[in-house]
Amino acid sequence: LTGNVDHVGVLIDSRNDGKTATLFAASAAGVQYDSIWDDSVATDDTAPDFYWDAAAHVDERGWTLEMRIPFSSLRYTDRNPAAWRISLYRIYPREFWYRFLSATWPRGADCWVCRFNRVTGLRDLPPGRGIVVAPYLSGKSTSQGDPGFGLGPSATSGVVGADLKWRPGASQAFDLTVKPDFSQIESDAAQISANERFALFYPEKRPFFLEGRDLLSTPLQPFLSLSTPVQPIYTRTITSPEWGGRSTGRFGHTSYTVLLANDRGGGRVILPAATGSSSALQDFRSNVLVGRMRRDLGASFLGLVATNRWVEGGGENHVLGPDFQWRPSSRDTITGQWLVSRSTTPRRPDLADEWDGRRLSGTAGELRWWRRTRHYDWFGDYRDVGAGFRADNGFVPQVGYREGYVEAGWTIWPARVLQRLRFFALVDHSASRGDGLLSSQHSAGFGFNGPRDSFGRIRLSLDRALTGPVVLPRTQLVFDVGASPSRRFTAVELMGTAGGAIDFDGHRRGTGADISAYASLQATRHLEFRLNASRRFVDLTGATATPARLFTAHIERVRATYAFTRRALLRLIAQHADTRRTVALFSEGAIAHEAAVDLSALFSFKLNWQTVLFVGYGDTRALDDDDRLRPRRREMFAKVSYAFQR
C-alpha cells in the first residue's frame, strides 16, 4: 500500500510520549499496511508486522472501512485512567495529492505525533498479560552444484523450533526463539556493487528482530551527505542465530530494549577504513548482547546504547555511548551521539590481516542541528569517527575521518501548478584524521511537489574525491523524480546521477551514469506488480583516443503478488543481475562477464501473526565456462507454525 493509493488510516500513540505512533491503514480493496512512525528520526518503519484486521465495502456512494485492532498489538502503560494520542487521516490522490488529518500539521513543524488529538479517560484497559507459544516445523530439499556440471543429488533436512512471547503487562514483553527459521523472508533486492567503495546496506526483514525496532534506531540516521552511516546497532550482523532472547518495555518515561543471541556465523564482517571498506568471512560462532534505553523529557529525550560481541576462540567488541535529541523550539531540532569502542580482533589472520588478536579503540561522535520554518530552512552536521572505532554489531563501513555538511533552502508555496518549490545549496567536506582531503562537494538545485503526487529533487554537483594517491574532480547531475500517473500505475520513480565519473579501482577520470527506476502497477484488485531496474556504467576518457567503456552493470527485478484473500497470497520474484567489464582496462583480476538469475515463489497463509503456513520454491542460475546461465542451486521448502495462546 503506497501513498499514491486512496486509503484511510489511524495513528495511535498508545504510550503518550508524543514521539512514536503505530500506524494502521487500509484501502478500498482491503489491502492492509502498518508501520511505526518515529518523529525523532522522521522515519516510517514498515518492517514490523502487527496482527489486526480490516474490511472494506464499496457501493455507489463511495466506500467504508472497518478496523479491528487488538490491544495486544499495542504497547501502553499501566496507568488508570490512561491517556493516548490519536490521529485519523485519509490520503486522497487525484489531480493533486490531498491529505486530510484530524490533527493539524503546520508547514515547518518539526514534530507530528506531538500534535495528535488527545484521548483521555481510558479506564480499565486490558492488562495485556498473556503467553504465546508457537512451535514450528520446517523442511526443505536442496540441490546445488557448479554451473555447467549439473545439480547434485537433493539433500533433505528438517528443523523443529519454537517462538515464545510472554507479556506480564501491556508495557512489557519478553521473547524467546529457538532455532528460528526465516525461509519465508523475501530475498534482498540486488544492488550494483561495481565501482563501490563502501559496503552496501540491506534492511532487516526477519520477524524476531522487529520487536522494539524503533528503540534500536539511534536518532542520527544517514542524511543527504556523501558520508556513510554510523549505525551502532544493525541486527543483520546476527547472521544465523541458534537462539535469541529479547526484553522490551517501558516504565514511566523510560523505554528500553535488550537483545541476546547466539550467532552461528556464516556471513561477512565489514572491515572499515577511511577510503573504502572490505569484508571477511564470519567463520566462527559468537554471542551478542545489545541494548538501548531512552528517557523522554517532554519533546526531547536522552538515550544510551550498548553493544557487545564475544567471538568463540577469542576476540570481542564493545560499544557504549549516549545520544540525545533536544527541541528548544518548534522550529529547531538538535541531535547528538557519542560512542566509544574497545575491541580485540579474532585470531584469524587467514581470514583478514587485522585479525591477529590486536587491540583497537576509538570514538565516534556526531552533532546535527536542523531548523525548519514555513519559508527557510537550514541543516548543519559535523561528524568525527576515529580510525580505531569498530562496531561489530552495527553498520559502520567508514572510519578515520571528519566531515562537515551544511545545507540551506528557501521554499515558496505556489497556488497553481506546483504545490511546493524549494531552492537550496549545500557544501560537504570530508577529510581524514590526518587532515588529508577525502571528498568535497558544492551543490545547488531545487525540489518540488506538483500534480499527480509528482515530486523531484534535482541539483548540479561539483565535487572532488580521493582515489588512491590522487584527488579527482567530477561534475554530475543528481536527480530523483517521481509521480503517481494513474490508479493503475500507482507510482513511478527515476533517480540517479549522470555526468562525470571516477574509476575508484584504477584511479582514473571518466564519464558515466548510475540510474535506478521503480514502478508499481495495480493490475487488478488482487494483483500487484513492483518493478525495479538499475544501470551503471563508466567510460574512461583518457585511456584511449575515444571514450572506452570500463564496465556496464545492470539489475532487473519483478515482484508479483496475488492476494486470494486477506490471509492468503502468492508471491513471485524474478531477478537478473549482469556485469560486463573490458578486462584490458583493468590492472589485474577482473572478470569479463558475471551474471545471475534468481527465481522464487511463495504461498503464504496467515491465520494470525504466528499461526502460518508457507510453501516456497527457489532457483538460482549462474554463468558456466561457455558464458551460459546454468542451474547452481534449487530449493523447495515448507513451514507450518501454530500459536497456542493463553
Within 8 A by CB and 6+ apart from 281, the residues are: 268, 269, 351
3-state secondary structure 241-301: EEEEEEEEEEECCEEEEEEEEEECCCCEEEECECCCCEEEECCCCEEEEEEEEEEEECCEE
pLDDT (0 to 100) of residue 212: 67
The count of other CB atoms within 10 Å of the CB of residue 200 is 12
Per DSSP, helices labelled H in 77-176 are none
* SS3 assignment, position 204: coil
Which residue ranges make up each domain of the chain? 7-122, 196-412
Give the C-alpha distances (Å, rounded to integers) separating 35 from 25, 217, 233, 630: 9, 14, 20, 40
Within 8 A by CB and 6+ apart from 54, the residues are: 24, 26, 30, 32, 65, 66, 67, 68, 566
pLDDT (0 to 100) of residue 239: 92
pLDDT (0 to 100) of residue 545: 61
437-455: pLDDT as tens digits: 999 999 999 999 988 889 9
Spans in the chain with pLDDT lower than 50: 225-226
Query: With left for phi above 0 and alpha for psi between -120 and 50, is residue 368 left, alpha or beta?
Result: beta
- Give the chain's radius of gyration (CA, Å): 25
pLDDT (0 to 100) of residue 578: 96
* Polymer length in residues for the chain: 646
Q: Which of 334, 429, 435 is nearest to 379 (CA)?
A: 334
pLDDT (0 to 100) of residue 274: 93
pLDDT (0 to 100) of residue 36: 84
Within 8 A by CB and 6+ apart from 95, the residues are: 451, 452
**Rounded to 5°, angle at Cα 533 from 529 and 539:** 170
Across 14-127, the runs of DSSP E, i.e. the strands, are: 20-27, 32-38, 43-45, 53-59, 62-68, 82-93, 97-101, 117-122
pLDDT (0 to 100) of residue 471: 95
The count of other CB atoms within 10 Å of the CB of residue 487 is 12
Cβ proximity of 267 and 225 under 8 Å = no
The count of other CB atoms within 10 Å of the CB of residue 226 is 16
Instruction: Tell me the fold of 7-122.
Output: Immunoglobulin-like (2.60.40)
C-alpha 201/C-alpha 270 separation (Å) is: 11
Strand 437-450 with 420-432, pairing: antiparallel
pLDDT (0 to 100) of residue 547: 78
pLDDT (0 to 100) of residue 81: 85
